[in-house]
Chain A
Amino acid sequence: MRTTRALLAAAAAAALMLAACTTDEPADTAAPDESAAAEDPGAEGEEEPEQETADGEFFVRADFERQLAQRDVEPEGDPATPWLQAIEPEYVDTAEFAQDGNTLCFSNASVSNPWRVTGWITMQQQVEVLQQQGLIGEFRVSDAADDDNQQISDIQAFIDAGDCNAIIISPSTTATLTPAVEAACASGVPVIVFDRGVNTDCMVTFIHPIGGYAYGADAAEFLVENLEPGSTVLALRILPGVDVLENRWAAAQEIFADSELEVLGDEFTGGDGAEIKNIVTQYLQRGEVDGIWMDAGDGAVAAIEAFEDTGNDYPVMAGEDELSFMRKWQETGMTAIAPVYSNFQWRTPILAATMIWAGEQVPSEWVLPQDPITEADRDDFLERNADMPALHYAKFGGEDLPGFPAAWQDR
């Protein structure tokens, strides 16, 4: 009897710890969405003292202003293939990496959210095309499932194998993965980093869309323009402490501070639809909510439904280019915008690898365009993605690949 009780007590203790782990889970899976993780005080610290603002830790004014300015820069390249466009590129010579070998290795952080799943399919389709053309031989992939340690050993395994002709890395977190990326560079193969960044410039090219500040600003500016002064805005965020999500919110705070909108609150939802619906419902019980700002579109529809179910008018809303939100937007005719964190960036690293092997120049920092979807082009994007599932992203940029549409439908 006594042992049973002791065991049960131990079990309760363990349950506690364990459940604490599970509740933490969204921190790793949800938010990294598109975004980078892990702040990096080291690299950004020097710029910080320049100007103190809203939320010092996650706000670097120089980056904020650069990203906002980049939105208006006409990217170089053909607008029909945005994944090959680049904003203000500085090209580097890659002649030293020119070679006939064509084994491509890819260390993926995870496929733990719909945004990454969509991009991953696009990437595989792009690889298939190039394999048929004989430009890529073997495509080796490891998935770290959001585990930094796993990804470090994945990268080391590629280095040790010694037969990767290029290594593509989508880092799980910034600071922790930096040494692993440096080790890959030191092994002499060309390294390509995309999506989230690392604190080194040893890679041949770093591919990413404009960034979190631009995303947050697109959303916030839309609310400011479309709401009467004095209106109320509720901010829904996935979780704290992830730098690109924090950058989105920091940019929004900056813009709301200069407006006459009243921010009712910013709530962490873990990206869980039920949680979002609860929180929005409770705010509606407290008073009027005129606008919704979100740092990522996961669960945007649940927020809209909270207005429907409580009999309130639709808010002015910033969601994301996820189809469930865009379809709801079209259906209801509400005033909304879909900020985009360009999903088509998943094609770019593959193409960059073949360019590097051919000795062609690539931008050292390859900044891809990141244009929000507005009411003007919404219907066009919905039509193009008419047969796609709800958790697909409109700007996935794979319509011209031979696997379209079946590969993205059947997931």
Chain B
Amino acid sequence: MTVTTSQPTRRQSAGDLLGRLFGGGSGTVFALLIVVFAWIFIVNPSFAEPPSLMAFLKQAAPLMILAIGQYFVIVSGEFDLSVGSLVGAQVVIAAALIDGEEGRTVPVILLMLGFGILVGLVNGLITTLLKVQSFITTLGMMLVLYGAIRLWTGGAPTGALSEAFRQPGRGGIDMAVVRQLPWALMILAGIVIVAVAVMRSSYGRTLMATGDNERAAAFAGVRVWRVRTLAFIASSVMATLAAILIGGYAGVTAQVGQGLEFTAITAVVLGGVVLGGGKGSVVAAMAGALTLEALFVLFNQLSLPSTIRPAVQGVIIIAAVAYAARERARPRHHQEVPSQQQPNEA
């Protein structure tokens, strides 16, 4: 059901992409998605009703957006661990600055976007120009944001979001059958179209090439630092958009955003995108996010405790990387040794 709702975009805007998807080993995630959904429908047939599915998509949209952002960074051969903290920071900033005043909604959203771009720019420039491993850069950024926000607010969030701010994440167009067509879904659709277009543009190809082989790309005239910095900015902007949706969806709490970087990376890896860059599709990354969310729904429907999630995420990330490493090892024999090390060390 969900697959079909998001498929028209793919078919219309990127018909030939499908072939590339399934050819590249990302097809697994779609198969998994179908299996998980089928299982949910068996456990709880009422989940298949359109209003339930819409509610699910509304809830899953922020993670899908985060996964798209994380995809840009991972495919270029880097990591962005700062997105979870950034989501938390952005929601807290929004609540503190808006403080319930409707009129401040739009200026604050613009400010948040500006802050997002700034964070991405700093992440990108430190990684590319100062040659700090992105793992370290974004880990540092994660801690800086986490601490700075607590310092600023005195430990716990303050203020309140406006009704208008909450609309994108919570509201939608009321209609028959689906009950409500969420704004979040439409925003997601827009982002997916842009993301697919970007990956098909020359920038997307350059990004992919950079992730695959940085030196070869540099010799071919790619300004690697610029390409990667843009990827970090894209990731931070996506995190900002996700923050707007998450804040809108559930309001402001002290724990918002925590652990999301890990969930997003799990989603991307589950989508068959190779850690280390150069391989994978943005739609598959998004499908990875959808599968992960569906999996959590399934756990809930099976009455498993929600504390099982971190463990499952851990298993998924190891299994997916190991699987991808095996897939990769076959056609490219010269990489066999290092890529087989990955599962062991991870």
Contact = CB atoms under 8 A, between A and B. Distances in A.
Report if A and B associate in a common complex: yes
Interface of A: 1-2, 4-16, 18-20, 22-26, 29-30, 110-114, 116-117, 120, 239-240, 265, 267-279, 281-282, 285-286, 298-299, 301-302, 305, 309-311, 324, 389-391, 411
Interface string B132-174: 0101000100100000001001111111100000000010000
A19 to B, nearest CB: 3
A8 B275 contact: yes
A114 B254 contact: yes
Contacts of A25: 255, 258-259
B343 to A, nearest CB: 8
A112 B346 contact: no
A2 B307 CA distance: 37
Interface stretch (B3-11, B123-131, B244-252): B244-252
A30 B158 contact: no
Contacts of A272: 250, 253, 255-256, 258
A111 B46 contact: no
B59 interface: yes
Contacts of A311: 51, 179
Interface string B287-310: 000000000110011010111011
B190 to A, nearest CB: 21
B201 interface: no
Given A26-B258, A271-B253, A411-B153, A6 B345 contact: yes
Contacts of B47: 285
Contacts of A120: 155
A113 B155 contact: yes
B155 A305 contact: no
Main secondary structure of the interface of B (DSSP, over half): helix
Given A18-B139, A271-B255, A299-B250, A285 B341 contact: no
B162 to A, nearest CB: 12
Contacts of A279: 300, 306
A30 B44 CA distance: 32
A23 B154 CA distance: 22
A29 B158 contact: no
A212 B342 CA distance: 47
Contact of B301 (A2, A117, A282): A282
B115 interface: no
A8 B84 CA distance: 20
A246 to B, nearest CB: 14
Q: State the 7 A-B residue pairs at the shortest beta-carbon distance, nearest first.
A: A19-B262, A273-B250, A111-B155, A23-B259, A11-B135, A5-B338, A274-B250
B267 interface: no
Given A20-B314, A25-B258, A273-B253, A5 B276 contact: yes
B250 A277 contact: yes
Given A112-B150, A273-B253, A391 B55 contact: no
Contact of A268 (B62, B150, B251, B306): B306
B159 A389 contact: yes
Contact of A411 (B52, B154, B335): B154
Nearest to A302: B250
Contacts of A278: 59, 296
B139 A19 contact: no
B79 interface: yes
B256 A112 contact: no
Contacts of B55: 281, 285, 309-310
A346 to B, nearest CB: 14
A15 B262 contact: yes
A7 B134 CA distance: 11
Contacts of A411: 153-154, 158
Contact of B154 (A26, A117, A240, A277): A117
A371 B311 CA distance: 40
A11 B133 contact: yes
Given A5-B342, A16-B314, A274-B250, 17 more contacts: A5-B276, A5-B335, A5-B341, A8-B342, A12-B275, A13-B345, A16-B262, A22-B142, A22-B258, A22-B259, A23-B259, A29-B254, A113-B156, A117-B155, A271-B255, A274-B256, A298-B255
B339 interface: yes
Given A18-B139, A302-B250, A10 B345 contact: yes
B251 to A, nearest CB: 5
